């Protein structure tokens, strides 16, 4: 990470973030969700098959990495339906409850330390913020108290392509009115986020794997930006970070 942080940050005009595993810790969230699922389905054993449905939904999405489709948002439920015996409508209902809505109540407590500080510093210094996730992200950002200039997901009708297909990242750069090389993409999965950035000719920074209580990545990233701004201030009339 040190080599990446020592790059010329003065050329960065936007920072684009992945969400899951990048802005919040997934391990504590999964522990909380596991307890909630056990409590819910322990009282409804006749619906326990929905637990297998949730696992199959995630598996099918992983199998379809880089996939494009005319309507990817609907296709993801149809893939799962074909392999589970549930209807696409039933899959959508269960996934919406347990993947898209229920976990949001825990996101604030699982947000990585330093995230809000780094977002605030970017915004205060005129650096645009983008969000690109394979999953819908607006409600997740609201739950974490974060805002961005442009938020897109792979299943948006304007994208219809899962990572590492580069279309979504290129589209987001266009929405920000910037060239890909003027942006920095931060993510936690090199095989998806990193490959997506490479195919988009966009600089990439990999989030370090650290437990939530020990997570220092965004604090150290902010300090590197701050150090760069002090050096730049000695030679230029503007300061990148204050």
Position 164 confidence tier, pLDDT thresholds 50, 70, 90: very high
The whole-angstrom separation of Cα 36 and Cα 186 is 30
> Given this model, what pLDDT does residue 125 score?
86
The β-bridge partners of 161 are 68
Mean pLDDT, rounded, for 184-204: 96
> Given this model, what pLDDT does residue 186 score?
97
Strands (E), 78-217: 128-133, 150-153, 183-187, 204-206
Domain range annotation of the chain: 2-24+111-233, 28-106
Q: What pTM was computed for the model?
A: 0.90
Please give the residue that has the higher pLDDT: either 124 or 186. Answer: 186
Least confident range of 121-135, 148-162, 200-214, 217-231: 217-231
Statement: 2-24+111-233 belongs to CATH 3.40.50.720: no
The whole-angstrom separation of Cα 189 and Cα 61 is 15
Q: Cα angle vertex 237, ends 236, 238, to 5°?
A: 95
Q: What is the pLDDT of residues 11-46, one digit of tens each?
A: 899 999 999 999 999 999 999 999 999 999 999 999
Q: Evaluate if residue 47 carries a pLDDT over 50.
A: yes
Contacts of 69 by beta carbon, 8 Å cutoff, 6+ apart: 75, 160
* Segment holding 15, helix H or strand E: strand 14-17
The whole-angstrom separation of Cα 4 and Cα 13 is 16
């Amino acid at each position: 990470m040190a080599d990446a942080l020592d790059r010329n940050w003065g050329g960065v005009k936007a920072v684009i973030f992945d969400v899951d595993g990048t802005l919040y810790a997934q391990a504590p969230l999964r522990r909380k969700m596991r307890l909630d699922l056990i409590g819910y389905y322990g009282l409804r054993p006749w619906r326990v098959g929905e637990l297998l449905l949730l696992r199959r939904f995630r598996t099918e999405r992983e199998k379809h990495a880089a996939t494009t489709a005319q309507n990817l948002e609907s296709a993801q439920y149809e893939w799962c339906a074909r392999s589970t015996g549930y209807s696409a409508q039933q899959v959508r209902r269960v996934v919406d409850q347990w993947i898209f809505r229920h976990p949001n109540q825990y996101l604030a407590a699982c947000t990585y330390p330093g995230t809000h500080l780094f977002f605030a510093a970017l915004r205060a210094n005129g650096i645009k913020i983008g969000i690109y996730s394979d999953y819908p992200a607006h409600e997740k950002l609201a739950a974490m108290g974060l805002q961005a200039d442009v938020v897109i997901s792979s299943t948006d009708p304007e994208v219809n392509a899962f990572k590492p297909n580069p279309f979504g990242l290129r589209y987001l750069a266009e929405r920000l009115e910037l060239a890909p090389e003027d942006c920095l993409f931060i993510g936690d999965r090199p095989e998806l986020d990193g490959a997506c950035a490479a195919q988009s000719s966009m600089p990439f920074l990999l989030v370090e794997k650290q437990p939530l209580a020990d997570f220092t990545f965004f604090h150290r990233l902010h300090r590197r930006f701050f150090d760069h701004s002090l050096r730049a201030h000695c030679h230029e009339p503007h300061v990148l970070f204050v």
